[in-house]
């Protein structure tokens, strides 16, 4: 039986996860210390926790002893539940009067399809609450000592998905990267590793200089964290050579160069584990 590890005290005015309700919560990037108080409360109160593949096992270990864990993960190229099936299951659980925590890696509504699940719950008349989480893009940059914004470098940052949706004919959709490249803002790419070479080439065709700094942060905020700093023209080749695998975030832009000014005193993954 699991022992609940809820913080010793929580604000008295926090909402409670009620029977028949669903919380769509972000589990953050991995490190359980980055959970929100609402996510911690949901873990302690839920009867059923429907979780994704990218939810860290240390986060799931915080579930209350009454909680049933249901896996509903989707990983690219592997058999998995459909989005429709997952939404249907959430509705079924709520209608059975269970207290349901839908737990997603990062933030549920940043490339997490939490919005689709919220729409399905709303259509079914199921009460729900969206609990934001620390999105992987911001967490990965912070873990690598790369600020998302710096006044002297950039006034905007772009989040983009690096996977390609299927068009009606079954072919990959072509995304126009030119408008993003023209902004000069850092581009933070999610779900990109399988298409990194293609996207890097597209960004260079769109006007990004080949020597533009680029970085990959894999398994951010965990003991398996790995960081590669490169350039746009070389990052895909170097990632292959060093066997970088998902989950990983890629950032392209001059902001990556700021890392060199910060890494001397930044905590390593091992340091964060000990703290």
- Among residues 143, 110, 141, 140, the alpha carbon closest in space to that of 255 is found at 141
Note whether residue 75 is domain-resident.
Answer: yes
- Global pTM reads 0.89
pLDDT of residue 76 exceeding 70? no
Question: Are 195 and 142 found together in one domain?
Answer: yes
Q: Which of 85, 118, 134 is the last residue of a domain?
A: 134
Residue 50 sits in a domain of what CATH number?
Answer: 3.40.1010.10
pLDDT tens-digit map of 150-179: 999 999 999 999 986 554 455 555 789 999
| pLDDT value of residue 275 | 45
| pLDDT value of residue 88 | 98
Which residues are registered as beta bridge partners of 249?
217
Confidence of residue 1 (pLDDT cuts 50, 70, 90): very low
Question: Are 123 and 203 found together in one domain?
Answer: no
Q: In angstroms, what CA-CA distances link 218 with 48, 163, 196?
A: 30, 16, 14
| pLDDT value of residue 111 | 96
pLDDT of residue 8 exceeding 60? no
- Among residues 137, 146, 142, the alpha carbon closest in space to that of 26 is found at 137
Question: Are 173 and 83 found together in one domain?
Answer: no
Six-digit token string for 76: 């690219």
Confidence of residue 75 (pLDDT cuts 50, 70, 90): low
Question: Are 125 and 193 found together in one domain?
Answer: no
Query: What CA–CA distance (Å, rounded) separates 256 from 238?
Result: 16
More confident of the two residues 47 and 165? 47
pLDDT tens-digit map of 101-159: 999 999 999 999 999 999 999 999 999 999 999 999 999 999 999 999 999 999 999 99
pLDDT of residue 79 exceeding 90? no
pLDDT of residue 272 exceeding 90? no
| pLDDT value of residue 183 | 96
Note whether residue 7 is domain-resident.
Answer: no
Question: Are 119 and 150 found together in one domain?
Answer: no
Query: What CA–CA distance (Å, rounded) separates 175 from 162?
Result: 10
Note whether residue 167 is domain-resident.
Answer: yes
Confidence of residue 5 (pLDDT cuts 50, 70, 90): low
Residue 243 sits in a domain of what CATH number?
Answer: 3.30.950.10
Query: What CA–CA distance (Å, rounded) separates 240 from 44?
Result: 41
Strand segments, DSSP code E, in 29-183 are: 48-51, 68-71, 100-104, 128-131, 158-161
pLDDT of residue 54 exceeding 60? yes
| pLDDT value of residue 264 | 72
- 3-state secondary structure at position 89: helix
Which positions are annotated as active-site residues? 52, 74, 191
Dihedral, CA of residue 266, residue 269, residue 274 and residue 275, to nearest 10: 40
pLDDT of residue 273 exceeding 90? no
pLDDT of residue 100 exceeding 80? yes
- State the DSSP string of 148-189: S--TTT-S--EEEE-S--B-TTSSBPPP--HHHHHH---EEE
Six-digit token string for 3: 């022992």
Question: Are 82 and 147 found together in one domain?
Answer: no
Query: What CA–CA distance (Å, rounded) separates 239 from 229?
Result: 10
Query: What CA–CA distance (Å, rounded) separates 18 from 46?
Result: 9
Question: Are 124 and 28 found together in one domain?
Answer: yes
Q: Name the percent of the chain lying above pLDDT 70.
A: 87
- Number of domains within the chain: 2
DSSP 264: T
Confidence of residue 263 (pLDDT cuts 50, 70, 90): confident
Note whether residue 102 is domain-resident.
Answer: yes
Range of the structural domain that residue 265 is part of: 137-274
Q: Which range is least confidently modeled, 5-14, 68-77, 89-98, 194-203?
A: 5-14
């Amino acid at each position: 039986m699991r022992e609940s590890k809820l913080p010793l005290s929580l604000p008295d005015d926090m909402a409670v996860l009620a029977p028949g309700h669903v919380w769509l919560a972000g589990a953050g990037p991995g490190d359980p210390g980055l959970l929100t108080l609402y996510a911690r409360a949901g873990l302690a109160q839920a009867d059923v926790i429907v979780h994704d593949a990218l939810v860290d096992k240390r986060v799931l270990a915080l579930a209350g002893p009454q909680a049933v864990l249901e896996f509903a993960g989707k990983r690219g190229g592997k058999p998995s539940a459909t989005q429709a099936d997952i939404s249907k299951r959430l509705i079924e659980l709520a209608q059975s009067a269970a207290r349901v925590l839908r737990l997603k890696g990062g933030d549920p509504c940043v490339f997490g399809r939490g919005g689709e699940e919220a729409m399905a719950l709303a259509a079914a008349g199921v009460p729900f609450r969206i609990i934001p989480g620390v999105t992987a893009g911001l967490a990965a940059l912070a873990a690598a000592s790369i600020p998302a914004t710096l006044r002297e470098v950039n006034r905007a940052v772009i989040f983009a998905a690096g996977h390609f949706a299927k068009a009606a004919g079954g072919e990959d959709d072509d995304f126009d990267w030119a408008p993003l490249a023209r902004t000069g803002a850092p581009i933070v790419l999610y779900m990109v590793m399988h298409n990194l070479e293609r996207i890097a080439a597209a960004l260079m065709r769109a006007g990004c200089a080949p020597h533009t700094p680029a970085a990959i942060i894999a398994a951010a905020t965990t003991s398996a964290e790995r960081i590669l700093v490169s350039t746009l023209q070389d990052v895909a080749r170097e990632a292959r050579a060093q066997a970088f695998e998902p989950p990983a975030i890629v950032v392209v832009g001059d902001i990556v160069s700021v890392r060199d000014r910060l890494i001397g005193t930044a905590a390593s993954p091992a340091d964060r584990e000990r703290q």
